[in-house]
A and B are shown apart, each in its own frame.
Chain A
C-alpha cells in the first residue's frame, strides 16, 4: 500500500505529460512542403511534357490562318510579318503578288481550318516545331502539312512551311499530342541517311535524274514525275527552236525541320531552291512559261534568256537504317518567286 501512492503520482505525471504534448501540437498541423519527387533541375523532368496542349495549338493555328485569310482578302503580303516566316513567307508572298496581278488567288493556296493530326514536340529548348496535317480541302485537294515554329522563348509560333501531301502518300506514326514527340536534328543517326544527307541527295536526284547515283535510294514520287513531265514538254519546245534549258537545285542551309516518328524514322521538311534558266535559240525571246511566271515578271523586258527562281518545299520520310525501305517524298510545294530576264 505504501508504494501505491508513489506509483500513483508517477502515473498521473506521465499521463498529464502525454496529454500536454498532444494538445500543444500546432493547431493547424505541420506546414506542408512542395512534394519534389521529380528532379528539380531546370530541364530535368522525369517525364517530358508536350510543349503545347491541343487547345493551345488550335489557338495558334487559328490565329495564323486568320492572318493568312486577311492577307488573301487584301491580296497584300505586308500583313504576314510576325505570323509567317521561312519558306512559307517566300511562297505566300509570291502567291499574293501573283494574285494581286492576276486578281485571282491560286486554288492551291487554300489551307483548311480543320486538322486530322497534330505532332507536338516535347523539347525543352528552342526552336520548336509543330507539325499539323489538315483535312482535305473542300474541292478535294490533298491534305496540307503545316510546320509552325517558335524560334525563341520570347517569340510566338509562326507558319514556317506548307506542303501539299501527295495522294496516297504514307506518313509515319507519331505519338498522340498528349504525349508528344521528340524533334529531330539534321544530323540524326540511325537512319538510312541523315536528314540533311537525304535533302542533299534528293537535290542531286532532281538535278541529274536517273543518272544520279542516289536514284535507287529514293522511291518515285509525284513531284519528280510532274517536274519531269514539265521539263520534257519545255525541252521539246526548246529543241524545236534550238534553245537550251537548265535547272539547278540547291538545298537551302538551315531551312530544315525534323520530327522523329515513333517507328524510328524521321519526317523531314526542307527547302530546296531551284533556278531554271531557259535560253531561246535563234535570237528568239524567252518568255515566261506559265501564268504565274508571267504575273511575276510583270511588264519587264524579255530577252533571249530567262531565269526563274523557284522555292521548292519538300517533305520526306527517312526510314530507319536496316529497314530496307527507300526514302520517300510525301509532299511538296513549288512556287516561282522571281523571274528575271538576263
Chain B
C-alpha cells in the first residue's frame, strides 16, 4: 500500500495541480470575444432577441458597409418594431454564435403585408421607434448596455445595397465572468493529496496497530505504580467515605482512613480486610488534620494516573481509558467490599 498506492495518488495529485495551474494561466479562457460574420446581398440585418447579450451584458456591435461612401446605420428597437419595419422585406438574421469567432446568420423573408401610408414614410434613422440610432459613412458602431437587454439591433446598409454587395458585422464582448476550469482541478488535486497522505500513513499500518490500546497492560509492577483500576477504586471509595463522614459511630471509616494515612502511599489502597481489626481510642483524634485530609480525599476525583500516589487534582476530571467492563467489575467489587466492611464494623463495634 505504502509503496505502490501512495506514490500513484501522489502522481495524480501533482498532475491535477499542474493541470489546474495551466488552466489558470496558459489555458485561461480569454475575456475578449470577437465574433464576425460576412453578410452578402442584404439591405437589412437584424439580430435575434437576446443575441446582443449572449456572452456579456455589454456588447459592441460594429458594421462595415459595402462601400465606404454609403452611410450605414444601426438602430436599437424592440423586436416588434423591428419586425414591423422589415415587414415584407428580405433581411438577414443574426441568430447567435456559430463558434467563438464567428456569428451564425440566417436569411429571412418576411411575408407579412407591409401597410404604408403614402407620402408619410420617414428615413430609417428618423423613425420614432428606435431608442438609439448610430450612423456613419462606410461603417457604424453601437455600444449596448444591460438596459438594452430586451432590444434587438437593426442594421440598414443604405438604399444602394443590393445582391452583389457584402457587409461585415462583428460583435465584441468583454467577459466579466469567466468560466473557471482551474478550481475543479485544484479540488481533485487536493483530494488526491489527502488520499496520498492517508494511504501512506493510516491505510499502510498493520491492522492490529490501528486498534485502540488496552487499558490494563499485563506486566505492570504492583509496587512501583498504582494500577488505574486500583487508583479508581480507592478514589471512589474515599469519595464515598467523605460523603458519609458526618454520620457518627461508623468506626469502619476511621479504620480505612487511618489505614491510608499510616500507609503513606507505600501500600496499595487495598481492601479493609487486609489491614485487620484495629483498636483505637475515639478521643485520640487530631480533628484539624482529619479535616484537611477529608478535603484532599474529596477533591481526589477519578483520574487516569500512573503516578506513585493518588494526588489531589481538580474535581471533575475524567479519564477516557476505563472501559465499561472494568467499571462494572469495579462496581461489583465495591458492592462486595461494602458488605464486608459492614460486617467488619459490626465486628469492631462488638469488640469494643
- Inter-chain CA distance A27–B101, complex, in Å, is 13
Determine the chain B residues whose CB is within 8 A of the CB of A31 once the complex forms.
97-100
Do B54 and A56 touch across chains, with their CB atoms under 8 A apart?
no
Determine the chain B residues whose CB is within 8 A of the CB of A150 once the complex forms.
128-129
Whether B37 sits at the interface, judged by CB under 8 Å, is no
Do A35 and B50 touch across chains, with their CB atoms under 8 A apart?
yes
Do B100 and A45 touch across chains, with their CB atoms under 8 A apart?
no
Q: Please, which residue of chain A has its CB at the minimum distance from the CB of B52?
A: A34
Mark out the residues of chain A between 33 and 47 whose CB falls within 8 Å of any chain B CB in the assembled complex. Answer: 33-36, 38, 40, 42-43, 45
Whether B121 sits at the interface, judged by CB under 8 Å, is yes
Whether B322 sits at the interface, judged by CB under 8 Å, is no
Determine the chain B residues whose CB is within 8 A of the CB of A34 once the complex forms.
48-51, 54, 95-96
Whether B327 sits at the interface, judged by CB under 8 Å, is no
Contact residue among A11, A12, A27, A154 (Cβ-Cβ distance under 8 Å from B116): A154
Contact residue among B29, B49, B80 (Cβ-Cβ distance under 8 Å from A124): B80
Determine the chain A residues whose CB is within 8 A of the CB of B12 once the complex forms.
15, 19
Whether B159 sits at the interface, judged by CB under 8 Å, is no
Given A152-B116, A156-B126, the answer on whether A28 and B29 have CB atoms closer than 8 Å is: yes
Does more than half of chain A's interface fall in helix, strand or loop, or is it mixed? loop
Whether B120 sits at the interface, judged by CB under 8 Å, is yes
Whether B285 sits at the interface, judged by CB under 8 Å, is no
Mark out the residues of chain A between 142 and 176 whose CB falls within 8 Å of any chain B CB in the assembled complex. Answer: 150-158
Mark the stretch among B81-89, B259-267, B276-284 that contacts chain A. B81-89
Contact residue among B78, B87, B129, B181 (Cβ-Cβ distance under 8 Å from A25): B181
Determine the chain A residues whose CB is within 8 A of the CB of B50 once the complex forms.
34-36
Do A153 and B84 touch across chains, with their CB atoms under 8 A apart?
yes
Whether A60 sits at the interface, judged by CB under 8 Å, is yes
Which one of B51, B112, B126, B181 has the greatest number of beta carbons of chain A within 10 Å?
B181
A: contact size bracket: 35 or more
Whether B270 sits at the interface, judged by CB under 8 Å, is no
B: contact size bracket: 35 or more
Whether B314 sits at the interface, judged by CB under 8 Å, is no
- Inter-chain CA distance A51–B29, complex, in Å, is 40
Do A151 and B19 touch across chains, with their CB atoms under 8 A apart?
no
Determine the chain B residues whose CB is within 8 A of the CB of A35 once the complex forms.
50
Determine the chain B residues whose CB is within 8 A of the CB of A29 once the complex forms.
29, 179, 181
Q: Please, which residue of chain B has its CB at the minimum distance from the CB of A18?
A: B188
Whether B16 sits at the interface, judged by CB under 8 Å, is yes
Which are the 8 A-B pairs with shortest beta-carbon distances? A153-B84, A34-B50, A155-B120, A29-B179, A124-B80, A154-B121, A151-B117, A156-B128
Measured CB to CB, the residues of A under 8 A from B are 4, 8, 11-12, 15, 19, 22-23, 25, 27-29, 31-36, 38, 40, 42-43, 45, 49, 51-53, 55-56, 59-60, 82, 124-126, 150-158
30 A-B pairs with CB atoms under 8 Å apart are: A4-B4, A22-B184, A22-B185, A23-B19, A23-B22, A23-B23, A27-B27, A28-B30, A28-B33, A29-B181, A31-B98, A31-B100, A33-B97, A34-B49, A34-B54, A34-B96, A40-B49, A43-B83, A45-B80, A51-B78, A52-B129, A56-B128, A151-B120, A152-B120, A153-B84, A153-B115, A154-B114, A156-B120, A156-B126, A157-B128
